Amino acid sequence: MATLPQRVKIVEVGPRDGLQNEPEPIPTATKLAFIQKLAEAGLTQIEATSFVHPKAIPQLADAIDVAKSLPNAPSLFYSALVPNQKGLDRAIEAGIRRVAVFTAASDEFTRKNINMSVDESIGVFEPVVRAAISQGISVRGYVSTAFVCPYAGEISRERVLDVSLRLLSMGCDEIAISDTIGAAAPCDIDQTVGFIAEKIPVEKIALHLHDTYATALANVYAGLRLGVATFDASAGGLGGCPYAKGAAGNLATEDLVYFMDRMGIETGVDLIGVAAASNVVAATLGRALPSKQWKRLKANAH
């Protein structure tokens, strides 16, 4: 059996990816209460919001208010999406110290999502990433539709590698290989992530998985076997991208934490604590969340 990492980092994307896909915005105070509980559960890397056009994602139009009121602790690292210089300016104004630029392996998707081709997005990001780094702000880069695109179909691993290398060479310190519509299975992780991990240090690779077809945890295991030790997840299994047809919730943080606990792999995150954070959102939405572990634990999580 492959030697698996002993410890993994979980990047909590619920406040951003989770809430961006809800039909209605939820109140800023509820978002902050959610983030507070996530931090109490031991999550230290939290993607808090997005500085995108408020018309594109009205659910996160309060980004500046959220970012300015984030709970503070030396161990907490918040990040936020920025699609361009205007987004970076807004993030800096709000005090954010880590940002994420986001492109994809398919032009069809980036055109719908950010109104640019992949090449155009790289051209826009280069000065943005330079400006961020010059001000001491670190940058993550997302590669969406890394396996299957809802508009272009199957994606070649060479294309994913090419976009990843371009993001790294402009200064991104981590590349989130993203299964935007949750279509991948472990064979895809082996083929694509295995291939790029031969050219990019595996410590710089994160897996951002959606769970549309219930393959996300199997894909995590495939990633672990390749040495990947950073996984994105969203409390309760909330999430999806309004610009990717068929994208359902992210891999649920509770399900990921249970899996890691049972595998004896450290996360530093308390399972019940995450369920308590999800309860805050579930109460506001007035509906059940997709996570299996949340369903099991919700009544006992406060």
Of the residues 7, 86, 130, 199, which one makes contact with ligand HMG according to CB under 6 A = 86
Of the residues 52, 61, 220, 269, which one makes contact with ligand HMG according to CB under 6 A = 52
Per DSSP, what are the bridge partners of residue 209? Answer: 179
What is the number of the residue whose Cβ is closest to Mg ion? 17
Of the residues 84, 103, 192, 212, which one makes contact with ligand HMG according to CB under 6 A = 84
What's the Cα-to-Cα distance from 71 to each of 14, 32, 35, 90, rounded to whole Å?
16, 8, 8, 19
Verify whether residue 241 is a known catalytic residue: yes
Query: Which two tokens mark 216?
Result: 């996300």
Angle between the N-to-C axes of helices 157-170 and 118-134, in degrees from 0 to 180, rounded to the nearest 10 = 30
**Residue (17 or 211) nearer to Mg ion, CB:** 17
CA angle 98, 100, 105 (to 5 degrees): 160
- What lies within 8 Å, CB to CB, of 85 at 6+ separation is 124, 127, 128, 131
Task: State the binding string over 110-149 for ligand HMG (x if CB under 6 A, else -).
Answer: ---xxx--------------------------x-x-----
234 binds ligand HMG (CB under 6 A): no
Minimum distance from residue 178 beta carbon to Mg ion (Å): 6
Burial of 105 (0-12, 13-18, 19+ CB in 10 A): buried
CA 267 to chain centre: 16
259 binds ligand HMG (CB under 6 A): no
CA 15 to chain centre: 10
From the list Mg ion, ligand HMG, none, partner contacted by residue 298 (C-beta under 5 to 8 A by kind): none
**Residue (105 or 271) nearer to ligand HMG, CB:** 105
Which residues of the shown chain bind ligand HMG in the complex (CB under 6 A)? 17, 20, 50-53, 56-57, 81, 83-84, 86-87, 90, 102, 113-115, 142, 144, 178, 180, 208, 210, 241, 243
Active site residues: 241
Query: Interface with Mg ion by CB under 5 A: which residues?
Result: 17
